[in-house]
Amino acid sequence: MSLSANITQTPEFLSKQLVESQATLKIYDSMTTDKRKFEPLQAGKVGMYVCGMTVYDYCHIGHARVMVAFDVVSRWLRHLGFEVNYVRNITDIDDKIIARANENGEEIGDLTERFIKAMHEDAAALGCAVPNSEPRATQHIDEMLQMIDTLEQKDHAYAAPNGDVYYAVETFEGYGKLSKRKLEDLQAGSRVDVDTDKKNPFDFVLWKAAKLGEPQWDSNWGGGRPGWHIECSAMSTKCLGDSFDIHGGGHDLQFPHHENEIAQSEAATGCTYANNWMHVGFINVDGEKMSKSLGNFFTIREVMEKFHPETIRFFILSSHYRSQVNFSDAALKEAHSGLTRVYQTLKAAEAVLESAGKLDESVEASTEVVNEISGYSANFIKAMNDDFNTPQAISVLFSLAKEVNKLARETENDQGIAKLQTAAVTLKALAATLNIGQVDPTEFLQAQIGAVSEGQMSDEQIDALIQERIEAKANKNFARADEIRDLLQQNNIELEDGKQGTTWRRI
């Protein structure tokens, strides 16, 4: 049994540290532009809404960053002892969806189901847990109509001659408070085309009048379908109430989408919409903004053809969620090297503990050992409670991995074994809060990316060459043994000779 399979519980001292640190969590709030102590509306419980995907194509690497960032947020909150209700919506009716379905000659429902399935597959590959709820726009039309009706009754919305229903931005005094934009400044510098059906160029559509051949629902204003912004307001309040703790999404959604959500929701309910706003930074590709027009647009699936999914997750976590990130092959290779260090450390610890006959035993560590190792976990928790500072937390993991490697090399007695096991168990438990380092080390280190036909040696070919090398060394044919090692290195296979024999990993 491997260390990875054997460790299923968080060390007692770490569990205590996590619970005791709950009150020290600070989150950067985009509304106040400051880190604030996190105080949920209801003690011990967190309601979190994240804007999800519009399902007309495969998810791209920018989507991956949002998925992973809020997956880590929800996991960390749960590790601190909060009961989390994580809601991430699915937009399954939209101009782009209609256009793509027409382009493909397929039913809208078939298109959206296909890409929802693909989205779930990609998220699972990246190690993201399924949110508590994934409300779909088409399943909440009644809630949207009710909110639009409320806004109209409160004179925040109006029906236009063209059959659309618009939100009147001038009726909401706080419009622009999230993005720090003043409506009068926007109007002064506006190049928005004048829509004669709008009272203000920045009024936005709540309900779109039906067009020939498009899906539609009945309403007080005639057949039509919802605008994009109203979807999230209706679904978030339906799932989490008029006010909730955290609203998140990509930085590109801050204006106008989230600004419009605030205007709709707070005008309709009279309540503060979300207590904390979190926005994930952009991903650039080789220094340029990712876009299809520039030809630097990559889907998650395309990236997974070249890199292990956990490497992609580790790459994303190696930067703070609010920062801009530069995506490149070099950056992914660096991330793979870093994650490999963690797995090699766990593998080395396994080998020593197994050799000592302690791999499957619970070894009691002294108070002195616990105090020493708990210093690493304290630093890890401090980093994560500082607005989910994953790069700093990963730095702590590397420091602890260095200690584990040192212990694995120098351990000679029961006391050393106890310290090694405590350190290794803690390393894996801390990594678990980020959902990295949890598979069997050998499985990760030998994972094959892409097809053998693309040039990679198969496991069977590698094992056969290693066996030939063993026989060559036994026959003192060291020249042939060196040739085999060189051949394997040329094929990105690194050999590791140890007391337990020869092992290998892909590099």
Annotated binding site: 51, 232, 257, 261, 292
- The DSSP secondary structure of 103-170, one letter per residue, reads HHT--HHHHHHHHHHHHHHHHHHTTPPPPSB--BGGG-HHHHHHHHHHHHHTTSEEE-TTS-EEE-GG
- Please check whether residue 317 is in contact with residue 126, taking contact to mean a CB–CB distance below 8 angstroms: no
Could you tell me which of 10, 98, 7 has the C-alpha nearest to residue 56? 98
91 bridge partner residues: 54
- Please check whether residue 244 is in contact with residue 49, taking contact to mean a CB–CB distance below 8 angstroms: yes
Alpha helices for 411-477 (secondary structure H): 414-433, 441-445, 459-474
Question: Residues comprising the binding site for ATP?
Answer: 292
Cβ burial of 346 (10 Å; 0-12, 13-18, 19+) is buried
Residue 63 CA to residue 284 CA, distance in Å, equals 13
Count helices and strands in the chain by DSSP H and E runs: 18, 15
Strands (E), 338-410: none
Question: Residues comprising the binding site for Zn(2+)?
Answer: 51, 232, 257, 261
Residue 133 CA to residue 152 CA, distance in Å, equals 29
What amino acid occupies position 196? T
Q: Beta strand pairing status for 283-285 and 288-289?
A: antiparallel
Residue 419 CA to residue 11 CA, distance in Å, equals 13
